[in-house]
Amino acid sequence: MSSGGRRLADLQQGDLDQNQMRLYELITGGPRAGDQSASPIVDENGSLAGPFGPMLLSPAVGAPLQELGAAIRYRSILPPRVREAAILLVAASEGSAFEWSAHHRLATAAGLTETDVALIQAGRAPAGVTPEEDALLAAALLLVQGGAIDDAPYARLAASAGEKALFELCTLVGYYRTLALVMRLFAID
């Protein structure tokens, strides 16, 4: 834990170079712009909130990273309920207050109950609505816990959820873990 607060100064729009400004516009003008009320990406000073500010440090890496996040959030085949449950599982396991706060409201809007959210906060996956959701939520929990996924459980998960969904779920877990690490390094949470 940081003892001195945030480590990275807020980058103001007037201080951004051309590449940083292009990335800023990609983040604020893309699909995330519609989620501002549930999960603000710009603070009251116009600086990017959460993990998005550090992305401006290296637009060559930040741009593809934010695009990966947009693909996971807005173009994935994962059901919204599963996607948001998996994000909260990562946030809980990584102790990421920003991600928890940003996605709690999105999770309940996607159909998770407060009981489901409490289970996730306790490190357990909620029950799915369908067998596919059950498999995906079980896989998300296994991925977050970091244990091995042996062949037999993998075969059951793949048969229920499909390999494409498992790939997207694995990518989601990795992406949100990356965001949690960025925020931990820069003491953003």
At 148-181, the pLDDT tens digits run: 888 988 999 999 999 999 999 999 999 999 999 9
Summarised one tens digit per residue, pLDDT across range 80-112 is 999 999 999 999 999 999 999 999 999 999 999
What does the block give as tokens for 33?
């712009």
Range of lowest pLDDT (2-6, 56-60, 176-180): 2-6
- Total residues found in the chain within this entry: 189
Q: What is the pLDDT of residue 73?
A: 92
What does the block give as tokens for 28?
């604020």
pTM: 0.91
State the maximum Cα–Cα separation within the chain, in Å, rounded to a whole number: 55
Does the pLDDT value for residue 50 go beyond 50? Answer: yes
Look up residue 49 and give its DSSP letter.
P
The alpha carbon of residue 93 and the mean position of all alpha carbons in its chain are separated, in whole angstroms, by 12
Q: Identify the bridge partners of residue 42 per DSSP, sorted by sequence position.
A: 48
Give the long-range contacts of residues 148-154, CB within 8 A, separation 24 or more: none
